[in-house]
Structure 1
Amino acid sequence: MTSPTNSTYPTPFERGDGNYTTTWAECIAFYELLAERFPGVLRWWQVGTSDSGLPMHAGLVTADGVFDRSTLSEQGRPVFFNNNGIHAGEPEGIDACMALVRDFCLEPERLVALGKTAFLFIPVYNVDGCVNRQSTSRVNQLGPELFGFRANGRNLDLNRDFIKCDSLAAQVFNRFFTTWDPDVMVDTHTANGADYAYAMTLIPTQPDKLGGGLGDFLRERMLPAIYSDMQGRGWPTCPYVNLLAETPDDGIEDFLDLPRFSTGYAALHHTIGFMPETHMLKPFADRVAAMRTLVEVVLDFSVAQAVRIQQLRCEARADAVRRTQWPLRWRNDHERPASLRFKGYAAVRAPSRLGDYQRLTYDRTQPWEKDIVHIDRCVEERVVTAPKAYLVPQAWREVIERLEWNGVALQRLDDDRLFDTARVYRVEEVSTRATAYEGHMFHDHVLLSTHSEAIQAFAGDMLVPLDQPRARYAVETLEPEAHDSFFRWGFFNSVLERKQDHISAYVFEDTALQMLADEPALRQAFDDWKAAHPAQQSDQQSVLWFLFVHGRRHAEPEWRRYPVAALI
């Protein structure tokens, strides 16, 4: 149970009026004081530096004062990870974590209850956003009086950056997460959207996407226990209200947590992740209390079931080593709807005073409770046969370093080598967002063709074998059709450009005639093109460009050829 405010070492939130969240400087000073006073309970250290040059910190609490990562790993100790402040304008977790760590230091029975579990935390992940303090960026949020900003110093949303790692923070996080390899993660947030009765909603790692025994355990054991315990502790909780239509009356569906998000990233490492979302319109003090309760509930379950969770993670990794098929894309399964008992408010529509339309409001004087549709399943949309390994040419160092940050086993070739058979992709079509998305022109649609060929590799190129526990991360970043592949994020955009992009028509006219004589396939393709585009036959540039691009004589092998090969 959550303890009342402890008068010894009160947090800035506790000293306030219920509508104050700590500043970054206050937060760091608070933990530094605790670490100094309670060195046998709390280890505190700097893990990196933000894009704005500010230190990033982490803390670790154990019941027996063992803080060395190697020792904890040798002892097989479970790790529970609490990440806070990724969106610094959603600060409930920052304040809740401070009070919880303080109570570990002051209450022996609470500390002993951890057992062998290590409580690992990042107090403020988005340091840059936390120091960008104001009161207006969260348009629809009720308190606190001042809070941080959603983006970091490069105006990046860090909860979209776990794969591409544009920010120094994400690069730090990738290495930190891989080193500590948490069994369970809670990443704290505040929700926008509809109005309803719950102060707390929850996004878990989608169980179908997590897969196997671990996914079944999450769906059948862990989630029911969390919802029941939250109800018993006075904070009824429901799944995140991801609407099917305009209001909850029409139902909700599970949030498809792609690897760009914290819970989707955790799934790549076979970690059970939770993204609790308090409701923006509930009083800030209630949101902090609900958040602390949620963290405690998940922690208590994780401690009690630590052996089982670790066992299931080991099984998931063993399965990854021998797996022959990997899902690349998922979608919500609307063919298997479930039912959810939900507490909402009447949706009321009335003429707007601003324009000629009906506006929506929720009437809290008209509460309702009824069963609504809940799409709680996901289904595989695209599956790929796993190769023996991937070959990543050394030129793509940004890709290689991200694989390394995530613990993927790599083999550097010592000598040049010819691989007889490899699966190679060519990019036939790609559709890119019209506007920038988190610093990239993201590729929403990718159409590939596949063929087999021999591949010449060179000393220094990297092999990524898939008979390894980190295979899932490799597959979901290196297969170009995967939701958040490196290709979709634009890491390989240069292969989409033809480098020789000019021809002199008066010279190439004769060359094109000779190409048609030498290349029967080009002749057939040209005849088909003329039949399909009769109007373009009078345009010399169109005619010559078609022949230049589709002929073999001046082909650029690298153009639209995906450079990562799958060795089969």
Structure 2
Amino acid sequence: MKIVFAALVACFITLSAKAQLTPFELSKDKNYTATYAQVIDYYQKLNKLYPQQMKLINYGTTDVGKPLTLVVLSKDKVFDPAVIKKQNKRVLLINNGIHPGEPEGIDASMMLVRDMLKNNTLPKDVVICLIALYNIDGNLNRGLSRVSQNGPSAYGFRGNYRNLDLNRDFIKADSRNALAFTQILTTWKPEVFLDNHTSDGADYQYVMTLIETQKEKQNPILADYTTKTLTPYLYSKMKKSGYEMIPYGAGEEGLPDSGIVSFLETPRFATGFTAQHNIISYITETHMLKPFDKRVYATYDFMQHLIEINQRDAKLIGELKRKADEQVINQKTFALSWAVDMDKVDTITFKGYEAGHKASGVSGLPRLYYDRDKPYTKTIKYYNTYKVTATADKPVAYVIPQAWGKVIDLFKLNGVQMKQLAHDTTLNLQMYYIADLKTPARPFEGHYLHTGVKLNPVDMPIKFYTGDYVVYTNQPINRYIVETLEPQGVDSFFAWNFFDSVLGEKEYFSDYVFEDIAADLLKKDPSIKQKLDDAKAKDPQLANNAGAQLFFVYRNSPYFEKTFMRYPVGRLLTNTKLDLK
């Protein structure tokens, strides 16, 4: 009887162990990534085995109608974000499957969660939050769309249910996925964030490349720590693990021999967005041509090393985040756009493959190929310095008319503190008039993104109404506030067409009626006549165009609408006492 019982126990243990294997591990050649249903089923079963240190929390509703599932791991069994902060613990947030054709993080996270729970290796001072699968929409659309990639055997599609690239959606938040992500971000307030991806570009010897928040764009307090301590640690540990890394970008603008330009993740991207919240941020980019299993295991190792240093430096990271928040509260000038500084160049050791050309089997013309039988190690250029190309001094406060509801909703979701006017009020503000802008002929991610914005600031009285919003710039979230509300910013709300209705005129005139009014204006107001005469002297075409002259007078008359091309968000430059709700 004892023998039978022992056999049953052994059989149960074997079945239990097998039940904890992921679909990736159970696949014959480890060239399989889990479906959405398999991911959720796996975590639910794991949660039943380890209910005290693991919790599944659903947030929001994605564009395909399913919630984002957050996997939370807490060694001390505390799952209240407020209590966790009071205990001075760190929060590490990991995102997986934003591009479902780049699924390594999905499968690696499933294994890592199991192993930490099973082996009782959860960090004491770090609570780990993993988004099981971000682009659920794209994951459900399973196929073979990434033709240039070496596995897995099937995977999801890059676009979501609205055909949005969700890693271009964070600042504009068109998708419900982005709204749910921001809810997670502001609820758990992570100090460190990781987004797992797969690269494209040239062929080379590395399984993984890395994007870190560009140091000139990152808060300087955090940048000093990441560049001197955290990033070197990750590179060193990954090399010892057998997955030596280089910065992402080799071959993005040509052959790797031409050098690597560090990637600039503006706020449309996940890590550019989290950087506005003063969060240390990384993107892993495993190489598309390496076997899928190696890419999964490299991602597993990277996450493990990131958790290790978060535990080791938990108190330091918390202190640095606190100092960065304080610094941003008092910061006066904010960068709004950046460009690579080609005059400043470092060097980096690069392990690649010789490139050559041979006849194309399609066209018969020369085509590029990399010869893996000819590996090399050489020193190449590394452009890792960016210069600021536009800045803005913050005002005391921004005043936002309540009519711009999406702006207000996103500010609330991002934790921006706002006050409301208690009654109708006329304020003396600096207002921007849009002097020039460039808009493409075709949309990008559903928007006609404005660039090259030039502004004409004008001090003027503006009437606001009860309930309009006042946003003071004395907050840790100042970067998000300024970068979204200053129209010239690379990913400002204006750039993403939030305010396009101000670019259109609403009133005009009938020529034959306005002719007499315009003539009378020129007699009564010599300044308008002088402007017209000066303009005609400079522009012969205007001098010979009656209709253009009539319109010139109209534009300079009291009848012309003052709201045309006027950006509606006001800048309060003085510390004015306001009657607020």
Which of 544, 547, 550 matches 1:541?
Answer: 547
- Quick one: structure 1 residues 474 and 143, their matched pair in 2 at CA, closer, same or farther if it must change by over 3 Å? same
From the CA coordinates, give the structure whose radius of gyration is larger.
2
SS in structure 2 of the partner of residue 327 of structure 1: strand
Offset, 1:434 = 1.5
1:356 Cα deviation after fit: 8.0
Q: CA deviation at 1:310?
A: 1.1
Which of 48, 55, 60 lines up with 1:48 in the alignment?
Answer: 60
Is the 8 Å Cα contact of residues 201 and 252 (structure 2) preserved in structure 1?
A: no
Alpha-carbon RMSD across the aligned residues, in angstroms, is 1.7
8 A contact 1:244–1:251 mirrored in 2: no
Post-superposition shift, 1:150?
A: 0.6
Contact persistence 1:48–1:57 (CA under 8 A): no
One of 279, 284, 287 as aligned partner of 1:279:
287
- Look up the SS of the partner of 1:188 in the other structure: strand
Q: Distance in 2 between matches of 1:226 and 1:363?
A: 29
- 2:526 and 2:46 mapped to 1: Cα distance? 78
* Shift of residue 536, structure 1, vs aligned partner: 5.2
The residue number in structure 2 matching 1:560 is: 565
Preserved contact between residue 91 and residue 191 of structure 2 (Cα < 8 Å): yes
Distance in 1 (CA, whole Å) between partners of 2:535 and 2:434 is 20
The aligned residue for residue 107 of structure 2 is: 95
Distance in 2, matches of 1:472 and 1:7, equals 48
2:4 is aligned to none
Distance 2:70 2:168 in 1: 21
Aligned to 1:433: 440
Alignment of 1:119 with 2:124, yes or no, is: no
8 Å CA contact 2:537, 2:543 repeated in 1: no
CA distance in 2, matches of 1:521, 1:154: 53
- Equivalent position of 1:134 in the other structure: 143
State the distance in 1 between where 2:338 and 2:133 align. Answer: 31
* 2:217 partner SS: helix
1:416, CA displacement in angstroms?
Answer: 2.4
Q: Deviation of residue 347 (structure 1)? A: 1.6
- In structure 2, which of residues 506, 524, 532 is the aligned counterpart of residue 499 of structure 1? 506
Within 5 Å, give how 1:408-447 maps onto structure 2: 408-420=416-428, 422-447=429-454
The one-character-per-residue Cα deviations of 1:186-205 (angstroms, maximum 9, x if unpaired) are 10000111111111000011
Q: Separation in 2 of the partners of 1:280 and 1:518? A: 72
String of CA shifts for 1:230-257, please: whole Å, max 9, x gaps.
0011100110025474111010111111
Question: Which digits, 9 at most, give the CA deviation of each residue in 1:28-79, with x for residues without a partner?
Answer: 0000111122111210021121112123211100112111122112212100
Matched, 1:14 2:14: no
Indicate the residue corresponding to 1:59 in structure 2.
71
Q: Give the structure 2 partner of residue 3 of structure 1.
A: none
1:365 aligns with 2:370: no
Does the Cα contact within 8 Å between 1:270 and 1:316 map onto a contact in 2?
yes
Cα separation, 2, equivalents of 1:546 and 1:123:
59
Q: What residue identity is the alignment partner of 1:100?
A: L
Equivalent residues in 2 for 1:238-277, closer than 5 Å: 238-241=246-249, 243=251, 245-277=253-285
Q: Tell me if 1:514 matches 2:520.
A: yes
Q: Which residue of 2 aligns with 1:457?
A: 464
Following superposition, the deviation at residue 8 of structure 1 comes to 5.2
Distance 2:562 2:506 in 1: 11
> Deviation of residue 498 (structure 1)?
0.6
Question: How far is 1:324 from its partner?
Answer: 1.4
Q: How far is the alpha carbon of 1:302 from its aligned partner? A: 1.4
Distance 1:68 1:553 in 2: 59
User: 1:117: how far off?
Assistant: 0.6
SS at match of 1:125: coil
1:351 Cα deviation after fit? 4.5
Q: Deviations over 1:401-428 (max 9, x none)?
A: 11111111111111223333x2211101
Give the corresponding residue for 1:83.
Answer: 95
Deviation at 1:400, TM superposition (A): 0.9
Match among 522, 525, 549 for residue 531 of structure 2: 525
Q: Secondary structure at the residue paired with 2:334?
A: strand
Which digits, 9 at most, give the CA deviation of each residue in 1:83-132, with x for residues without a partner? 00111111000000000111122111x22xx0121010101011101111
Give me the whole-angstrom Cα distance separating, in 2, the residues matched to 1:11 and 1:274: 25
Q: Which residue of 2 aligns with 1:471?
A: 478
Cα distance, 1:211 vs structure 2: 2.5
- SS of the residue 1:403 aligns to: helix
2:106 aligned with 1:72, yes or no? no
**1:197 is matched with which residue: 184, 190, 205?**
205
Could you tell me whether the CA contact under 8 Å between 1:242 and 1:255 is conserved in 2?
A: no
2:348 alignment partner in structure 1? 340
Q: Is the 8 A contact 1:389 1:466 kept in 2?
A: yes
Aligned position for 2:172: 164
Q: Which residue of 2 aligns with 1:392?
A: 400
SS at structure 2 position matched to 1:186: strand
Counterpart pick for 2:195 among 174, 184, 187: 187
Among 40, 46, 57, the residue aligned to 1:34: 46
Distance 1:521 1:150 in 2: 59
Give the TM-score of the pair, scaled to structure 2.
Answer: 0.93
Distance 1:524 1:187, change over 3 A: same
- Structure 2, unaligned stretches of length 5 or more? 1-16, 574-581
Whichever residue aligns with residue 400 of structure 1, its letter is I
Match for 2:401: what amino acid? Answer: P
Equivalent pair of 1:41/1:104 in contact (CA under 8 Å): no
Give distance in 2, aligned partners of 1:139 and 1:515: 67
Q: Give, in angstroms, the shift of residue 322 of structure 1.
A: 1.2
Give the Cα–Cα distance (whole angstroms) in 2 for the partners of residues 315 and 372 of structure 1. Answer: 36
Q: TM-score, normalised by structure 1?
A: 0.95
Relative to structure 1, the CA distance from residue 193 to residue 244 in structure 2 (aligned partners, 3 Å threshold; closer, same or farther) is closer
CA distance in 2, matches of 1:524, 1:139: 65
Give the equivalent residue in structure 2 for 1:350: 358
- The residue that corresponds to 2:118 in the other structure is 106
Identify unmatched segments of 5+ residues in structure 1. Answer: 1-5
**Which residue identity is paired with 2:119?**
E
Count of residues in Structure 1 that have an aligned counterpart in Structure 2: 557
Q: Identify the residue that residue 494 of structure 2 maps to in structure 1.
A: 487
Q: Is the 8 A contact 1:515 1:551 kept in 2?
A: no
